Structure 1
Amino acid sequence: MSQKVGDRLKAIRTMYGLSQRELARRAGVTNSTISTIEQNRVSPSVDSLTKVLDGIPMSLIDFFTIDLENGEEIFFRKEELVELSDGTMSMRLVGATRKDRKLRVLHEIYPPGGDTGDKLIVQKGEEAGVVVRGKLAVTVGERVQVLGPGDAYYFNAEIPHRFRNAGDVECEVVSAATPPSY
């Protein structure tokens, strides 16, 4: 194993918010074992490293392949959200550049009268959202409900649905869907 095993272990332990003592307790090894590995004073055997990683938990493959220096973005400034506007409403996608996204999160703004269109939306998965301000009419199949601030929805997205601002002020919604359709 390379000289960098200790540096890698320390970075991963820190990333998971574990102290040396806590990792040692979880892994069933002594605190000095963790310390000497992290100081690169010993090169642990595969079995020893596997035992230590069980305390995180993390596989040996993940330990050696996780990209510690070029990790994916976690935080996004307002101006970094990708605008998916169609001109009648604003949908800003969170984490658009993340590889293998399993979730779509949108910050949506509907102007008065704004909607997702006459054609009902059908997609695989589930969709949920919370109205932050304004009034949102949500149509799911034959059901229609007008929601206000703090109200929420959650439904099977394979049921035809649409959204419309039901008020005379902007409507703001934060929504999520899985799997991401865009």
Structure 2
Amino acid sequence: MSLDIGARVRFVRLKHGLSQRALAKRAGVTNSSVSLIESNTVNPSVGALKRILDGIPIGLSEFFALEPDAPRKVFFAAEELVEIGKGPISFRQVGESLFGKSLQILKERYEPGADTGRVPLVHEGEEGGIVLAGRLEVTVDEERRILGPGDAYYFESRRPHRFRCVGPVACEVISACTPPTF
């Protein structure tokens, strides 16, 4: 039996309310390292895995003994969405645990001027979204577009990308990412 280390790391990280960036900072590794491990693109050494788990914190034995329940819930009230990002950008996830899942759905809210950062995001998979309100500047590679309500995006997530709310009102987006790598 093969153990899905990436899904397990993602499950533990989300269970502790950490974004990939927050965990990377706590563990002293790059954000891309956490992303690559969670997407099973790289298999971490025991030392690298321990460093990441120390940032949560959870021990190696507890990590490998973990037996998450497979969520069977189908419907989610608005107040049941799980906040996985705090600050000027809110990421509210459908479902508490994505352990063993292949899709992540988010309700995103960007306050005016909020930005995912100057360093572009890069991870395995694909993602797409639809802007519900406000104006969102989306940059993928060197291509940049300002999207308004009803506009959408869809791209391979390994392409460097960045999101920024432009304009005087908050921007709301419904997005999906596969595999769950946020």
TM-score normalised by the chain length of structure 1: 0.59
Aligned equivalent of 2:180: 180
Partner of 2:126: 126
CA shift for structure 1 position 98 = 4.7
How far did 1:119 drift? 1.2
Aligned match of 2:100 = 100
Is this contact kept in 1: 2:71–2:97, CA < 8 A?
A: no
Match of 1:115 in 2: 115
Q: How many angstroms apart in 2 are the aligned matches of 1:157 and 1:137?
A: 16
Find the residue that maps to 1:79 and give its secondary structure: helix
Q: Distance in 1 between matches of 2:117 and 2:99?
A: 29
What is the CA distance between 1:86 and its match in structure 2?
A: 3.2
**What is the distance in 2 between the residues matched to 1:72 and 1:89?**
28
1:77 corresponds in structure 2 to 77
8 Å contact 2:107–2:172 — kept in the other structure? yes
Describe the shift of the 1:98–1:126 C-alpha distance in structure 2 as closer, same or farther (beyond 3 A).
closer
* Cα pair distance change 1:159/1:122, threshold 3 Å: same
Give the deviation of 1:118 after TM superposition. 1.3
User: Structure 1: where are the runs of 5+ without partners?
Assistant: 1-69
Aligned length: 113
Give the Cα–Cα distance (whole angstroms) in 2 for the partners of residues 123 and 93 of structure 1: 18
CA distance in 2 between counterparts of 1:84 and 1:98 reads 12
What's the counterpart of residue 89 of structure 2?
89
| Per-residue deviation, 1:71 | 6.7
Shift of 1:99: 3.9
Question: Is the Cα–Cα contact under 8 Å of residues 128 and 154 in structure 1 kept in the other structure?
Answer: yes
- Deviation track 1:56-80 (CA, whole Å, cap 9, x = no partner) reads xxxxxxxxxxxxxx97000111111
Larger relative CO (CA 8 A, sep 6+): 1 or 2? 2
| Structure 2 letter corresponding to 1:141 | D
Structure 1 consecutive aligned stretches of length 4 or more whose deviation exceeds 2 Å: 96-99
Bigger radius of gyration among the two? 1
1 CA distance for matches of 2:137 and 2:150? 14
1 CA distance for matches of 2:76 and 2:86?
22
Indicate whether 1:136 and 2:136 are aligned.
yes
- Matched position secondary structure for 1:90: strand
Letter in structure 1 aligned against 2:87: G
* Residue pair 1:110, 1:170 contacting (<8 A) in 2 also: yes
Code of the residue aligned with 2:127 in structure 1: it is E
Matches within 5 A, 1:135-174: 135-174=135-174
Residue identity opposite 2:112 in structure 1: P
In the alignment, structure 2 segments of 5+ residues that lack a partner are 1-69
Percent identity over paired residues = 50
